[in-house]
Chains A and B, each alone.
Chain A
Amino acid sequence: MYKVVVPGDYISDEAKRAGEGTYVEEGKVYAANYGIVSEKEEIRVVALAGKYVPFRGDVVIGKIIEIAYPYWIVDIGSPYEGRLHINEFGREGDRKIDFSSMSDYLDLGDLVVAKVLNVDALMRIDLTLKDEFMISDRGRLIEISYTKVPRVIGRSGSMIKMLKEKCNCFIFIAKNGRIWIRGKEEDMNLATQVLLMISNEAHTSGLTDRVSNFLDSFKEKREGE
């Protein structure tokens, strides 16, 4: 069973093991977040809510919200914006990309998959494009809280694997809680429903089985029609 804590709850005397979501006062570890205690190597409190804060190496889905030469400014669902440098696209023949041609490459509203290169002390976030796949018009963006992402992925990817198979969709989950799905309209509807279900019930037990049963019964119903 999960142990839920509120800010200020005492957790442990082992100050050395204090990790994310906790703080240490006079040698004791206290909860800094409303969340669930996880005591592995580190004592952490996994937050039940909150805003995504980027770390180097995170892969995120972002949306271009501003063209501010030489950067595209990217909304990554965080209190902090990211930025992509024009160097991402090299040069146009002999010339560097200039302001007027930036929108030919990435325009306002475009969705991108990017990796966080660096976060500096002033919270400037440098991104680089990941070219695993392109986000195109065919497909759908779903947003959930970044805190639920681990549950959608599941232990060793078990949950996400099951979703991809049973929904027959391409599903990509980014660290910042944004999910890109692609497939037939009715398959995407099913996937959307299930993803929101997982997000709402992230901290319940037996979730994997429930999701599996739900998907199976849905499929049965469809085949029956």
Chain B
Amino acid sequence: MKNEELELIKDGKRLDGRGFDELRPITIEVGVLKRADGSCYFQLGNNKAIAAVFGPREMHPRHFQDAKMAVVTYRYNMAPLSDDRKRPGPDRRSVEISKVSREALDPVIIKEYYPKTAIDVYVELLQSDAGTRTAGINAASVALAAAGIPMRDLVSSVAVGKIDGEVVLDLSAKEDNFGEADMPISMVARTDTITMIQMDGRFTEDEFKRGMELAKQGCHQIYELQRAALLDKYSESVEQGEK
């Protein structure tokens, strides 16, 4: 919904002071949940996502099993107080986000290694500020690796959008609400293969291309952070042990 009075860009900077190609601050922590097989906390600006991975484990009910490969499930859920309008339980938006998020990660998981099993991914949003699905996918990707699930690559995700006619990276909630377009993207940084793309609003073809370029840059940066978090987790346990 365009709001004519609100200026989203002032003196070449966005409301929170960021440049057009800047990500919000990111914090990643691996292994935050002891009971899950793999877990990750991912904070992007004011978005706080926790991903928990269980599996591979026996798939129930049996008739959903695939004799040749693991079945991946993904459940995205916004915790009741994470957002003003949230009531408990899955809503239509969460169902769609769960689907596209699963389809963002499924391509990299080597499912053939674990026939007849289920790999269950649960993503909870504790706090939201636009970009929740991207934070969730970033968290889930790290949690899957931490759980020892065999994958071809990590997946990284970020949204681009259009505000006051400018294409920018990583929309905040205000920018999403009052901007003209919102396009979340997930990709494999190593090969620039896109595993998720959605668009809401209006883009010309050129704006779309500009958005893709910004998204690529953003995903590459996020990938480095995801990778570092996993490596740090290992060396952290090495340090603790050697004390």
Contact = CB atoms under 8 A, between A and B. Distances in A.
B190 interface: yes
Interface residues of A, number: 32
Contacts of A21: 150
Nearest to A7: B151
Contact of A122 (B55, B67, B188, B235): B67
A34 B152 contact: no
A78 B113 CA distance: 13
Nearest to A34: B145
B152 A49 contact: no
Interface residues of B, number: 37
A194 interface: no
Contacts of A48: 148, 234
B241 A7 contact: no
Interface string A38-81: 00000000011111010000000000000000000000000111
The binding surface of chain B is classed by DSSP as mixed
Given A204-B238, A204-B241, A79 B117 contact: yes
Given A51-B37, A200-B241, A79 B230 contact: no
Nearest to B227: A6
A51 B144 CA distance: 12
Contacts of B114: 51, 53, 79
A123 B113 CA distance: 11
Given A53-B114, A203-B238, A7 B150 contact: yes
Nearest to B141: A7
Nearest to A1: B238
A33 interface: yes
Nearest to B153: A8
Interface string B98-114: 00000000001010011
The interface centre, meaning the residue of A122, A200, A204, A207 with most chain B CB atoms within 10 A of its CB, is A204
B55 A51 contact: yes
Contacts of B241: 200-201, 203-204, 207, 210
A81 B59 CA distance: 12
Interface of B: 37-38, 55-58, 67, 108, 110, 113-117, 145-154, 188, 190, 226-227, 230-231, 234-235, 237-238, 240-242
Interface of A: 4, 6-8, 21, 23, 25, 30, 32-35, 47-51, 53, 79-81, 122-123, 147, 200-201, 203-207, 210
9 contacts: A33-B151, A49-B147, A49-B148, A50-B148, A51-B114, A79-B55, A201-B240, A204-B237, A206-B242
Nearest 5 interchain pairs by C-beta? A50-B148, A201-B241, A8-B153, A49-B148, A204-B241
